[in-house]
Amino acid sequence: MQTVETLNEGLKRAYTLTITAKDIDARVDQEVKRVAPQVRMPGFRPGKVPANLIRKMHAESIAQDALNSSIQEGVQKLIADNKLRPAVSPSVSLEGEYAPGGDAEIKVELEVLPDVPTPAIDGLKLERLTVPVSDDEVNVQLKQLAGQQKAWTDAPAKHKAAEGDQVTMDFAGSVDGVAFDGGTGTDMSVEIGTGRLIPGFEDQLVGVKSGDEKTIDVTFPADYGVPDLAGKPAQFALKITAVKTAGETVIDDDFAKTLGLQSLEQLTGLLKGQLEQQLNGLTRTYMKRKLLDQLAAGHDFEVPPSMVDAEFEQIWHQLQHEAEHEADPEAAKAELEAERADYVKIAERRVRLGLLLSEIGTANGVEVTPNEMNQLITQAAAQYSPNDRERFYQYVRNEPMAAAQLRAPLFEDKVVDFLFDKADISDREVTREALEAAIESDDGFDTGTHTHDHDNHKPRKSKKAEAGEGEAKAEKKPAAKAKKADAEPAEAEAEPAKKPAAKKAPAKKAEGDEAEAKPAKKAPAKKKAD
């Protein structure tokens, strides 16, 4: 095999590989020997078919396999001999038409990882903002939990239903006098005031008593999930079978036992632990932001454009998705487009930070253990159907890049923890509000944890509140929405930045969608009319 370097410019490399006919023919001989035991031909015992006949029968496929194997081996040897560290998978192409029996000329193009200067990790100083969990906060959680566990008791016979009461009813819906599919049901219970049913429905339950029969008029929302019903007026004939009032829930040991616990003390401890975990997460987010700011401020080196492009696409995919849920999606997208250059800078910074963390981790023996890797793969596989999981396992085993993308977040967290241990940390007690404000502040760098709620889209905050400044002190970025996009380093293991998230947003659950058919806020339930 002959190798000629055709490009060496910055991080870009290009080579021409010439694989000789002799090398390819030798590979063909290997392929023939490999497949010979499996070849069956009338007149010959298994495994005894002459090599020349095998060549003749499977000449085209064997030659192609031999060429592919030769190319793969040649590229691997090229990388090893030149001590290259590809940033992404090399681009490999066959120059011209390959004629069997002749040489093959291969063009290999790639970007290499930069020589990352050894980051200085001594002298790191961080402030840890801590928030103690008060008894009042725990009590608030207890009351909220008790409110979700209402004990309903039958109301007196002449009690008129009011907001907060539970009404149980049989119902039959119709549009223009014709019953519609899913509009009839029995024993449907609803708490008045929850807004679970279509607008106006619950309001007309106020004042009903057990045993009442009543017909109400409502109008389906214009965005109702069933096009045939959207925006249309409807009638529901109701028979009230029960009215119940909420009894006071006593927060004591018995209440805890209804939740499967042993005592109120145990329940209180669990709630306090959950709050502490939430607050510790916020504290870590703030510290990580400040740590990354310090690393970014002291390093500026060239990064592979392909990695930046891939990281940008990930950022852009996320932001475009969020723009879809704005009040004016087109205006939101136009605003993003005007700030595209800012996001390219953010992507570049993320890639650079990823390479820095990789260098730190590698230099200091940080690693993800095989057991931890197996757990990551198992967790990732759980999102697939049982039939697809084995294919996922095979994919991860056969694609080093896929394995690297699974490993990278955990590796990064380990490197961050390592740096926390090395840093000089001072503690300062603050309120939760102050900690959250510090995380949202303009001069911080967000860890980028995506918390977009697919089921409760709310109007976006102001540009800075939503985005944050994001570029720390080293590179003061124009006001742009960096908070969500300017996230964690692209890949902490010096692997290509991950592609835009392939998984779809979870399907939006219909608000008020019930097990049986009823006048829900969105699509009606699937139960057929009785």
Residue type, 494: A
| pLDDT tier, 219 (very low <50, low <70, confident <90, very high otherwise) | very high
Confidence band for 50, pLDDT divided at 50, 70 and 90: confident
What is the band of 329 on the pLDDT scale with cuts at 50, 70, 90? confident
Domain closes at, from 56, 80, 111? 111
Residue 454: pLDDT over 80: no
- Domain holding 6, by residue range, is 2-111
Write down which residue in 111, 144, 175 finishes a domain.
111
- Do 100 and 189 belong together in one domain? no
193: in domain = yes
Rounded to whole angstroms, the Cα distance separating 104 from 73 reads 13
pLDDT digit string, tens, across residues 72-91:
888 888 888 989 888 888 88
Note whether residue 448 is domain-resident: yes
What integer pLDDT is reported at residue 511 of this predicted model?
Answer: 33
Least confident range from 22-36, 247-261, 328-342, 490-504: namely: 490-504
Residue 306 within a domain: yes
pLDDT in tens, 476-519: 332 233 333 344 455 434 333 333 333 333 333 333 333 333 45
Q: Is residue 139 part of a domain?
A: no
Distance CA 375, CA 381 (A): 10
Q: pLDDT band for position 245 (50/70/90)?
A: very high
In a domain, 124, yes or no: no
Instruction: Answer yes or no: do 273 and 348 share one domain.
Output: yes
Instruction: Return the SS3 of 76.
Output: helix
When pLDDT is cut at 50, 70 and 90, the band that residue 38 belongs to is low
DSSP 128-171: EEE-PPPHHHHHHHHHHHHHHS-EEEEPPTTPPP-TT-EEEEEE
Same domain flag for 465 and 515 = no
For residue 291, which of 440, 412, 151, 126 has the smallest C-alpha distance? 126
Count of domains for the chain: 3
449 contacts: CB under 8 Å, gap ≥ 6: 285, 487, 488
Residues 324 and 456 in one domain: yes
Residue 122 lies in a domain: no
How many whole angstroms from its chain centre is CA 501?
Answer: 7
| CA-to-CA separations, 120 to 123, 357, 425, 470, in angstroms, rounded | 8, 11, 17, 22
What does the pLDDT average to over 404-417? 92
pLDDT cut 90: percent of the chain above it:
44
Residue 54 pLDDT class (50, 70, 90 cuts):
low
Please check the confidence at residue 242 and state whether its pLDDT lies above 90: yes
Contact of 150 with 249, CB cutoff 8 Å: yes
Residues 340 and 430 in one domain: yes
Residue 58: per-residue pLDDT: 63
How does DSSP classify residue 38?
Answer: G
d(CA 206, CA 193): 10
Least confident of 157-171, 313-327, 477-491: 477-491
pLDDT above 80 for 221: yes
| 165 within 8 A of 487, measured Cβ to Cβ | no
Residue 235 has pLDDT above 70, yes or no: yes
Say which residues have a Cβ less than 8 Å from residue 182's Cβ, sequence separation at least 6: 226, 517, 524, 525, 526, 527, 528, 529
The verdict on 158 and 89 lying in the same domain is no
* Minimum mean pLDDT range among 273-277, 306-310, 497-501: 497-501
Domain membership flag for residue 129: no
Q: What is the 3-state secondary structure (H, E, C) of 399-459?
A: CHHHHHHHHHHHHHHHHHHHHHHHCEEEEEECCHHHHHHHHHCCCCCCCCCCCCCCCCCCC
- State yes or no: pLDDT of 132 exceeds 50: yes
**Mean pLDDT across the chain, nearest whole number?**
79
278 part of a folded domain: yes
Residues 272 and 244 in one domain: no
The CATH number assigned to the domain holding 41 equals 3.30.70.1050
Report which secondary-structure segment, H or E, holds 361: helix 340-363
**pLDDT confidence of residue 501:** 33
Same domain, 222 and 95: no
* Helix (H/G/I), strand (E/B), else coil: 522: coil
What's the pLDDT score for residue 59?
Answer: 62
The predicted structure's pLDDT at residue 465: 31
Query: What pairs with residue 480 in β-bridges?
Result: none
Q: How many helices (H) and strands (E) does the chain have?
A: 15, 11
For residue 177, the domain's CATH number is: 3.10.50.40
Q: Do 426 and 304 sit in the same domain of this protein?
A: yes
The verdict on 289 and 176 lying in the same domain is no
Q: Do 98 and 21 share a structural domain?
A: yes
Mean pLDDT of the 157-176 span: 93
- Looking at the DSSP bridge assignments, the partners of residue 429 are 130
Q: Are residues 67 and 216 in the same domain?
A: no
